[in-house]
């Protein structure tokens, strides 16, 4: 893709991110920020709304920064120009792959993984896919990573939705499936970038960020702020055991 096409895709992506962040904030503010329960008064910093509010604010902030960059680099102007000179059919072709890939990431994260998988694994999958797919600015890798992520998400939905009874012997079957998916993605990415030193380094950095950020969020919110996470399972269980072994 040419530079203008990339900036146009950034413009579309930023609009989706800002809209999604606004929706997250809207839903978060429906939760109680403070109140009394069973005679115990809860303060705002232990509210379950705190975490989604922070996530929504950061998504809006990052989307706004991307929007400003896209406007300054001519992405918005090029987007308007393209709409004026091409038809709807051409607008919806593979040049909007980045836009569709973002929708895939957000949709699966919110509606597939968050309700069913340990928050650490859901966050790691989301971050690893988005960072690795978009940080390299390689169209071929973006297509391959998007196809792999879409296929893995589809298989996870099928197995977790229709065949979970066959995995009942596992303590956290959905978490195990997500962990396998994460391992397959890491292995595939390392294999695809093996012959390219710069891309390999970026992918390794993507792995580091994708694992470190959810870990810091889980530890800080669950053990210091005492805010329950959307879903706690295999990884959080291990963190609980480690925490009580060290500090209790």
The token duo for 173 is 């079957």
91: pLDDT strictly greater than 80: no
* pTM (two decimals): 0.67
The pLDDT value recorded for residue 80 is 73
Helix axes 75-85, 50-72, angle to 10 degrees: 70
pLDDT tens-place string over residues 8-42: 777 888 888 888 888 888 888 887 776 655 555 66
Mean pLDDT (the chain, rounded): 83
Q: Is 38 left (phi over 0), alpha (psi -120 to 50) or beta?
A: left
Q: How confident is the model at residue 95 (pLDDT cuts 50, 70, 90)?
A: low
pLDDT tens-place string over residues 43-78: 666 677 788 888 888 889 988 988 888 888 887 777
Grouping H, G, I as helix, E, B as strand and the rest as coil, residue 35 is strand
Residue ranges of domains in the chain: 1-92, 96-248
Q: Are 139 and 1 in contact (CB under 8 A)?
A: yes
The backbone torsions φ and ψ at residue 172, rounded to the nearest 5 degrees and listed phi first, read: -135, 80
């Amino acid at each position: 893709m040419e530079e203008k096409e990339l900036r146009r895709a950034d413009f579309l992506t930023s609009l989706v991110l800002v809209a999604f962040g606004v929706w997250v904030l809207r839903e978060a503010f429906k939760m109680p920020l403070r109140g009394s329960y069973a005679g115990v008064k809860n303060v705002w910093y232990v509210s379950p709304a705190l975490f989604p509010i922070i996530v929504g604010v950061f998504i809006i902030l990052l989307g706004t920064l991307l929007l400003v960059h896209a406007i300054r680099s001519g992405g918005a102007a090029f987007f308007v120009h393209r709409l004026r000179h091409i038809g709807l059919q051409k607008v919806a072709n593979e040049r909007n792959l980045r836009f569709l890939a973002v929708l895939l990431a957000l949709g699966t994260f919110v509606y597939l993984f968050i309700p069913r998988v340990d928050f650490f694994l859901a966050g790691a999958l989301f971050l690893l896919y988005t960072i690795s797919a978009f940080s390299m600015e390689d169209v071929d890798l973006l297509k391959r990573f998007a196809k792999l992520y879409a296929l893995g998400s589809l298989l996870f939905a099928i197995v977790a939705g229709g065949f979970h009874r066959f995995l009942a012997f596992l303590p956290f079957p959905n978490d195990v499936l997500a962990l396998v998916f994460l391992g397959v993605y890491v292995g595939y990415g390392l294999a695809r970038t093996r012959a390219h030193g710069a891309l390999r380094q970026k992918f390794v950095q993507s792995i580091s960020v994708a694992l470190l950020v959810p870990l810091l969020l889980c530890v800080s919110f669950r053990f210091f702020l005492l805010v329950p996470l959307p879903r706690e399972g295999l990884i959080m269980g291990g963190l609980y055991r480690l925490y009580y072994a060290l500090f209790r």
